[in-house]
Amino acid sequence: MSNTAIASLKSPSRRLLIGLIAAQVVVPVLAGKAQAASLDEIKKRGLIVATEDDFRPFEFVKDGTPTGFDNELIEDLRKYAPFEIKQQILPWTGILAGVSTGKYDVAITAVIITKERKQSLDFTSPIADATHYYLKRKDDKSINSIKDLSGKTVGVQAGSALLARLPELGAKLEKDGGKLGKVVEYTSYPEAYQDLALGRVDYVVNTVINLKTLAAEKPNVFEVGQAVSGKSFPAWAVAKGNTELLAFLNGFIAKEKETGRFAELQKKWFGEAFPDLPVSFEPEF
């Protein structure tokens, strides 16, 4: 693999650009402990939306402009909502805590629905399929199936549902006499992908959409493996009990589905539409 291919996975100038963009769109929030705002309050001061800085194809920055599936939906939401949309582009690690405490009104990103998260958050209708798969280096001939992952080092995002569900993979490996190897946690997935390309980890676990997108962009570097979890779905998240805002957002999503816009954006960014997504989802994990 060329040095250019490796360098393109994580560019310092790109990270600086993201920081500058985030600074432009950040809006002030009240210091101290916050409570989730009611819909009436949101109508007066605007909806504070938190999105991730680099989670392709859901949200990322290209040529200085936020883009991706969720960012295109945010642009539609600006036309639909009778109030201002104030977007903050942030690293993943602080988003959910900020929503649960009322610092941000909604996380418009691919938040995987889990039992633990449902204790402090409520979720909109699912926006895609988020079944977990593994990603390996294209030239790694030692990994051809799930059983070959035994004892190998895996990269995964810190604080993610994928990390929480790794025991499912561990159970699969144990059935064949294997075991889950060392787990390396990353602040963001681009860092994990870079380490995979450099051979610092043996495979990375992420949702099938994200991995297929990456493999399509870098077919000579990466290859998508098999599913390592049961069914999983991502959705947008609001603070627990914020029923008015949840109903408003579900109304917007329903309208986007009725007009065909939702399927159009799914095909554009994911390569396929998901017409049979559940209206709601009760996770087992």
Give every CB contact of residue 209 below 8 A, 6+ residues apart in sequence: 57, 58, 110, 128, 129, 130, 270
Residue 28 has pLDDT above 80, yes or no: no
- Single residue among 227, 245, 261 that ends a domain in this structure: 227
What was the pLDDT predicted at 120? 95
Q: How confident is the model at residue 49 (pLDDT cuts 50, 70, 90)?
A: very high
- pLDDT for 181-211, tens place per residue? 999 999 999 999 999 999 999 999 999 999 9
- pLDDT for 125-166, tens place per residue? 999 998 999 999 999 999 999 999 999 999 999 988 888 889
Residue 108 has pLDDT above 90, yes or no: yes
Is the domain of 171 the same as that of 219? yes
Question: Is 173 in contact with 179 (CB distance < 8 Å)?
Answer: yes
Burial label for 23, CB within 10 Å (0-12, 13-18, 19+), is: exposed
- Single residue among 175, 203, 227 that ends a domain in this structure: 227
In whole angstroms, give the CA distance from residue 90 to residue 84: 19
Is the domain of 113 the same as that of 247? yes
pTM of the model: 0.76
For residue 277, tell me if it sits in a domain. no
For residue 27, tell me if it sits in a domain. yes
Is the domain of 16 the same as that of 146? no
Domain total in the chain:
2
Is the domain of 123 the same as that of 206? no
User: For residue 221, how far is the Cα from the chain centroid?
Assistant: 22
For residue 35, tell me if it sits in a domain. yes
Token pair recorded at residue 124: 């909109």
For residue 88, tell me if it sits in a domain. yes
Rg (CA), the chain: 19
Task: Please report which helix (H) or strand (E) contains residue 51, including its range.
Answer: strand 47-52
What was the pLDDT predicted at 159? 86
Region 235-262: mean pLDDT is 97
Is the domain of 122 the same as that of 242? yes
In whole angstroms, give the CA distance from residue 272 to residue 140: 28
Q: What's the domain range around 84?
A: 3-129+234-270
